[in-house]
Structure 1
Amino acid sequence: MAPPPRLLPLLLGRLLVSGDLLRNTAHLRRIVPLLPSHPHLAASLSSLYFPLFPSSCIFLHNLLIRASATSPSPRIAFAAFSSILRSGDAPDRFTFPSLLKSASRLASFPRTGAQVHAQAVRRGFLIDVFVVNALLAMYAAFRDTASMREVFDSCAGVTDVVSWNTVLGGYVKCGDIRNAQMVFEEMPQRNGVSWSAMVGAYAGSGELDVAREMFDEMPAIGRNIVTWNSMITGFARHGLLPLARKMFDEMPVRNLVSWNTMIRGYAVNGEMDGARKLFDVMPEKDVVSWTCMISGYAQAGRYAETLELFREMQSESSARPNEVTMVSVLSACAHLTALEEGRWAHTYIDKHKMVLDNEFNLGAALIDMYAKCGKTDMAVKIFYSLDQKNVSAWNALITGLAVNGDVQDCIGVFEQMKRSGEKPNDITFVGVLTACAHSGLVDEGRRCFQSMSSTCRVQPEAKHYGCMVDMLGRAGLLEEAEELIRTMSMAPDVMVLGALLGACRMHKRFDVAERVQSEIIGLNTRQAGCHVLISDVYAAAGKWGEALDARRVLQKCTIRKLPGSSSSMR
């Protein structure tokens, strides 16, 4: 029985002191698979102690390389390989497959893989199918299909069905379906992996008719659960939920991935009631199942249900929430301004040592939650605690300060962002322009808007024009706002025109309002806020008949007034 990795240094110390490590290689054979968890020990043992056992040296090194290939420290494999070369031993056919697997996990360092490839060629190991397949898999992992194909063609006499499937999978991974199809057609024999790869490729690219045709042609024995799941994913991703559900119901056997795939399909298409019905009858649920539902509720704007389901997860499930789960929970807290629940979520994140500044943007979600709950001091504190501040974190703080009226701080953080080298994006400018609009900083807003395209290479969108029109309108500069709308590279939408109409009401500029309202009516919008504003503008001008007509349009269209839709324009 192998010792726990944390006790390895202590055990090694005792074996060295007693001399047992040198007397019995059985101890080393048990210890070597644990060495990747202690890189310094691995380097010392492989270079100093393995050579003391000439008959077992290459075996021990291969054991270490194989363990490293699946460990968090794949680089150890290359140190072990260097140790083999220094010891005077020659690597064998068992060395290279694991060494190439380690190299494939270092995709950002393709030169390392090329060096291993050169060693395998120089030592004549490309006559071994396991080495060839590992080499093909490495280039597929690097997305280097040219090198992958070159190896495949040069080793044609050595390849097997695994080789063909690896090349096929490499093309699929790179989205090169044309070459994948050519390989598929040339294959001397196909298995379930081959068919599944092609069905998944066509389904994933949206060519669902071809995917279904291949699925139907596929030998029944080759239809595995991966193939079924690929078809469900393809249909659901493109909004074809009835077809996805039909496939799901026809499956001879379902696994947890099948259930999660179907639930995710409902969720991403906003069909949360359908997702919940399926979720409630699942035979088992994991963190993915719960997170699909929680995230789906949050994205659908059903924030109370987001938090309710999260509480259920805590009380009824052994599945532990992950970073993705917590981002959705924090989003719900932010939209509901549920500060106490947000603080509890923050405590949970700290307790479980979740990382705040990785690709899940948990730190940005925390900043956003505290800012929307009015606790900008906590938002600032979390922001400056992040080791890595990406654009999402900067945007969360800038927007949070803007909506809380901390305008000077907002602009200060924006300037700091630019000095840091982080490039502002479209969301950044919405935050800054919103701050300028609400504080009357017209000159600052103009400079910011001008710098979008001239300095930051961000092309203004309708939302940015809406902020500018709102800012100019609040300042009474309605003619300038109208002129800005005329210069837009896209047609003004209801939010842009609505911002101008709100300014007309504020400043009693009924002449401008007349022009704007005709454009809004031309959009045939069903947004209640604009029709209410049109009615109010007419009423303020004493034009009661026109005001009543606008209200009738509102009722005729059976427009439901969205929460907050008019407040931002008043």
Structure 2
Amino acid sequence: MSACSSTTPVPILSFTERAKSLLEIQQAHAFMLKTGLFHDTFSASKLVAFAATNPEPKTVSYAHSILNRIESPNGFTHNSVIRAYANSSTPEIALTVFREMLLGPVFPDKYSFTFVLKACAAFCGFEEGRQIHGLFMKSDLVTDVFVENTLINVYGRSGYFEIARKVLDRMPVRDAVSWNSLLSAYLDKGLVEEARALFDEMEERNVESWNFMISGYAAAGLVKEAREVFDSMPVKDVVSWNAMVTAYAHVGCYNEVLEVFNMMLDDSAERPDGFTLVNVLSACASLGSLSQGEWVHVYIDKHGIEIEGFVATALVDMYSKCGKIDKALEVFRDTSKRDVSTWNSIITGLSVHGLGKDALEIFSEMVYEGFKPNGITFIGVLSACNHVGLLDQARKLFEMMNSVYGIEPTIEHYGCMVDLLGRMGKFEEAEELVNEVPADEASILLESLLGACKRFGKLEQAERIANRLLESNPRESSGYVQMSNLYASHGRWDEAMEVRGKMRAERVKKNPGCSMIEVDGVVHEFLAGEGLRIE
């Protein structure tokens, strides 16, 4: 006889349902073992189910271990663990639980098959999915749309599109999910033409179908096609608007980002969410459009949107890049919930505005408050040292990256150091750092060092560095131009003309400069040597 009836309220189960950690699950398990409640199948199954809903890998594994200790587990218990593994970072373990279920007295039901096939799709387990498909066909279970939709997902994500299509075509009942499963699989593999053909053929579309196509075109850089789909949508949700905003942002069409955002505000019942606002603020930052960015800030305040995380970071970045560093600092100080990206944004902003010492003070504050800096943080602080000439501090930070935080320096970090060393006239030390970088990445560092040699009038060193630069990248104009100018500054006109001749012989052209300004709320772009172009 069981320890209690399944209809009797059990306080420990209420405690377990609210459990937030593995420790609390273990406490509930220990109590149930001590009181004998664990021998009641209903209570034990509930314990497993509650544990399995916790996303922590250790808790899911613990739920599995509890399952193996239940004398007569039911299908619900097995399904809870299979589903948990299918949604975890180790979906392949769901197959182990499924095999254990096959050995027990309870045969898998349609939910078991759906969850284990979802696991197969997660790790592209074609062979495993095919075997489970065969087992399902041999079972007495009636054909089920959920199982077949998951099969389409398994075959599609594994790249077996012909089999996925056969499953779709043979389904007696199909829904929008059936079509979307194959549509998303095509798009995940970058097969936009096949996806569009399927999209045009679909018997049933929902808003997700349209959003898949917009995002798929965007991922392929086909923003014109994405916009055509977007404009044709009968109904748009906030995901649709965000997909189009992201499509334009991805290819640097920032004016179009603002255009779509304004359309959303004027023509849609959907309100922008944090994702929308971050993309729009980033576009304002890239365009230097302060007035539009300030308007977005007012919108955020007016609608009670909390300024934290990515929204706070985007606001700080926008004000910094639009020249309002005091306002950026004000937003940063008013943000109660900061993350590493928020700290990075203000450190970088202060550094770019020449406030290197302030940036380093913020860095010290960041570390004191327990935030772990990342590679972007160190680009900011090294740049800060560069702007104010703090060489010793920069050396310490550069060494600290790896020794304290385990961060391997990238070309950007080396660039900061080489530029600073060059500005301080430490050419030998700078060249030693350049030699630590792979040859195919060293060009930008050599350009920086060549510029420093020119400023200091170090002709002999400049010639050596220029030769290295031209050997590694003969099509880049910087080395030719800088050497020609350096020879000219020393009155060595023959050498200057010779370098220019080589540049013409190699058909190397100097890229023109480009600037953008905002006038009366309109962003204009112009190139050196060209007239004004209104975007």
User: Offset at 1:233?
Assistant: 3.4
DSSP-derived class of the 2:405 partner: coil
**Corresponding position of 2:150:** 197
Aligned 1:45-60 pairs, distance under 5 A: 58=7
Q: How many positions carry a matched residue from both structures?
A: 497
Matched, 1:242 2:190: no
Amino acid paired to 1:422: F
Aligned 1:161-560 pairs, distance under 5 A: 161-173=110-122, 179-187=128-136, 188=138, 191-201=144-154, 203-204=156-157, 207-208=158-159, 211-222=160-171, 225-358=176-309, 361-489=310-438, 491-524=440-473, 532-541=481-490, 542=493, 543-549=495-501, 552=504, 556=507, 560=511
The answer to whether the 8 Å contact 1:379/1:397 transfers is yes
The answer to whether the 8 Å contact 1:96/1:120 transfers is no
The answer to whether the 8 Å contact 1:199/1:230 transfers is yes
User: Offset at 1:465?
Assistant: 1.3
The answer to whether the 8 Å contact 1:465/1:485 transfers is yes
CA distance in 1, matches of 2:306, 2:103: 45
**Aligned pair in 2 of structure 1 residues 508, 224: CA closer, same or farther (>3 Å)?**
farther
User: Offset at 1:160?
Assistant: 1.8
CA distance in 2, matches of 1:453, 1:304: 40
Q: Compare 232-241 and 341-350 and name the one that shifted more.
A: 232-241
The answer to whether the 8 Å contact 2:434/2:442 transfers is no
CA distance in 2, matches of 1:285, 1:96: 45
TM-score by length of structure 2 reads 0.78
DSSP-derived class of the 1:301 partner: coil
Amino acid paired to 1:296: A
User: Offset at 1:250?
Assistant: 3.7
Which of the numbers 107, 117, 142 marks the counterpart of 2:55? 107
Q: Compare 174-183 and 402-411 and name the one that shifted more.
A: 174-183
DSSP-derived class of the 2:514 partner: coil
CA distance in 2, matches of 1:219, 1:364: 45
CA distance in 1, matches of 2:114, 2:379: 48
1:353-405 superposed Cα distances (whole Å, 9 cap, x missing partner): 334445xx222112211222233333333333444432212211211111111
CA distance in 2, matches of 1:203, 1:525: 45
**Aligned pair in 2 of structure 1 residues 495, 95: CA closer, same or farther (>3 Å)?**
same
User: Offset at 1:536?
Assistant: 3.4
The answer to whether the 8 Å contact 1:169/1:180 transfers is no
The answer to whether the 8 Å contact 1:534/1:550 transfers is no
- Runs of 5+ consecutive residues of structure 1 not aligned to the other structure: 1-54
The answer to whether the 8 Å contact 1:357/1:387 transfers is yes
1:292-331 superposed Cα distances (whole Å, 9 cap, x missing partner): 1112222322222211211111111111111111110111
The answer to whether the 8 Å contact 2:217/2:223 transfers is yes
CA distance in 1, matches of 2:99, 2:469: 61
CA distance in 2, matches of 1:239, 1:344: 37
Q: Compare 254-263 and 474-483 and name the one that shifted more.
A: 474-483
The answer to whether the 8 Å contact 2:354/2:384 transfers is yes
Aligned 1:133-144 pairs, distance under 5 A: 133-142=79-88, 143=90
- Runs of 5+ consecutive residues of structure 2 not aligned to the other structure: 516-526, 528-535
The answer to whether the 8 Å contact 1:532/1:550 transfers is no
Which structure has more relative contact order (CA 8 Å, sep 6+)? It is 2
Aligned-CA RMSD value:
4.4
User: Offset at 1:260?
Assistant: 1.0
Amino acid paired to 2:371: E
CA distance in 1, matches of 2:168, 2:183: 19
Runs of 4+ that moved beyond 6 A: 59-62, 88-100
The answer to whether the 8 Å contact 1:462/1:490 transfers is no
Give identity over the alignment, percent: 34
Which of the numbers 143, 153, 158 marks the counterpart of 2:102? 153
Amino acid paired to 1:133: N
CA distance in 2, matches of 1:448, 1:119: 51
**Aligned pair in 2 of structure 1 residues 240, 109: CA closer, same or farther (>3 Å)?**
closer
User: Offset at 1:290?
Assistant: 0.8
CA distance in 2, matches of 1:233, 1:493: 40
User: Offset at 1:521?
Assistant: 3.1
CA distance in 1, matches of 2:468, 2:199: 47
**Corresponding position of 1:21:** none
CA distance in 1, matches of 2:98, 2:306: 39
**Aligned pair in 2 of structure 1 residues 91, 480: CA closer, same or farther (>3 Å)?**
closer
Amino acid paired to 1:285: K
User: Offset at 1:196?
Assistant: 3.8
**Corresponding position of 2:520:** none
**Aligned pair in 2 of structure 1 residues 338, 105: CA closer, same or farther (>3 Å)?**
farther
